[in-house]
Structure 1
Amino acid sequence: MTSLDTLFEAAKAIQAKAYTPYSRFKVGAAIATPEGQIFTGCNVENAAYPVGSCAEAGAISAMIAGGGRRIGEIVVMGEGKHLVTPCGGCRQRIREFAAPDTKIHIAGPEGIRKRFTLDELLPFSFGPDNLTDR
């Protein structure tokens, strides 16, 4: 299993690579699979604002491309003094590959600021089980 320190450092390293010429607000995300693989992503902005992508979406894409299918835990690192939790769309993206008790660690440069489960961030969520239990 991957240590939380390793996951934190991976999120911090990828955050520095974010492409944010408009907001200047860098976000990094690091996913650990249950098997211990780590996948990272950073936010990528675009002059046509809706076309940008979130760090969590990038990390999930990297995980899928690398053969992973389950999120064991995730660290999301943002800047500033406020918690930078996944947006609504990314909460749903995480839900696709995570269990309700999956740990989502919210970090700043100084370390982990708060921990949530997916169920705390996205209660009563719609997911793959809703489509197979018909």
Structure 2
Amino acid sequence: MDNGKLTELINSAEAAQQRAVAPYSNFQVGAALETESGKIYSGCNIEVSSYSLTICAERVAIFKALSEGEKDFTQLVVTAKTKDFCPPCGACRQVLIDYAPNIKIFMLNSAGEAKETTIAELLPEAFTRNFLLDS
């Protein structure tokens, strides 16, 4: 792993976290996604008054990348000002398993510590597109 690239991803995720729009929860999350081509797409959570329409930082980053034609992803950094590591929510996990099944995920806490995992570890026995293709 290129530590320089990971540092760049962390910086991008932390910058995105500062742009989070969280007027109701005040819970700011940032994410940075690296593509196979080396590009970085960042995202922050964005809340709306109809809370179920809120979108998470991880999905913002991956949807930005997909909308630009990217399809292959290598790693994702998620930052939050929490004591514990903040994993992607269930909706984000589903999007990640569909579009980035081999991605490495680094979760950072408020102390700057990182925990590495994979989407397969976070979402075992996932429902995937294979179920739809096999039917």
Per the TM superposition, whether the score is higher than 0.5 is: yes
Q: Percent of aligned positions with the same letter in both sequences? A: 38
Q: Secondary structure at the match of 1:3?
A: helix
Q: CA RMSD in A?
A: 1.6
Q: Secondary structure at the match of 2:73?
A: coil
Q: Secondary structure at the match of 1:24?
A: coil
> Cα offset for 1:132?
3.2
> Cα offset for 1:112?
4.0
Q: How many residues matched?
A: 133
- Name the structure 2 match of 1:113: 114
Q: Secondary structure at the match of 1:111?
A: coil
Is residue 2:9 matched to residue 1:7?
yes
Candidates 11, 22, 25, aligned match of 1:23: 25
Is residue 2:100 matched to residue 1:98?
yes
Q: 1:14-62: CA deviations, max 9, x gaps?
A: 1100001111110011100111111111000111111111101101111
Is residue 2:106 matched to residue 1:85?
no
Task: Could you tell me which runs of 5 or more consecutive residues in structure 2 were left unpaired when the two chains were aligned.
Answer: none
CA contact (8 A) 1:27 1:78 kept: yes
Q: Secondary structure at the match of 2:23?
A: coil
* TM-score, with structure 1 as normaliser: 0.91
Q: Secondary structure at the match of 1:83?
A: coil
User: What is the alpha-carbon distance in structure 2 between the residues aligned to residue 120 and residue 17 of structure 1?
Assistant: 29
- Name the structure 2 match of 1:122: 123
Letter paired with 1:72: T
CA contact (8 A) 2:83 2:110 kept: no
- Name the structure 2 match of 1:72: 74
Structure 1's consecutive aligned runs of 4 or more residues displaced over 2 angstroms after TM superposition are 108-113, 128-134
> Cα offset for 1:85?
0.4
* TM-score, with structure 2 as normaliser: 0.90
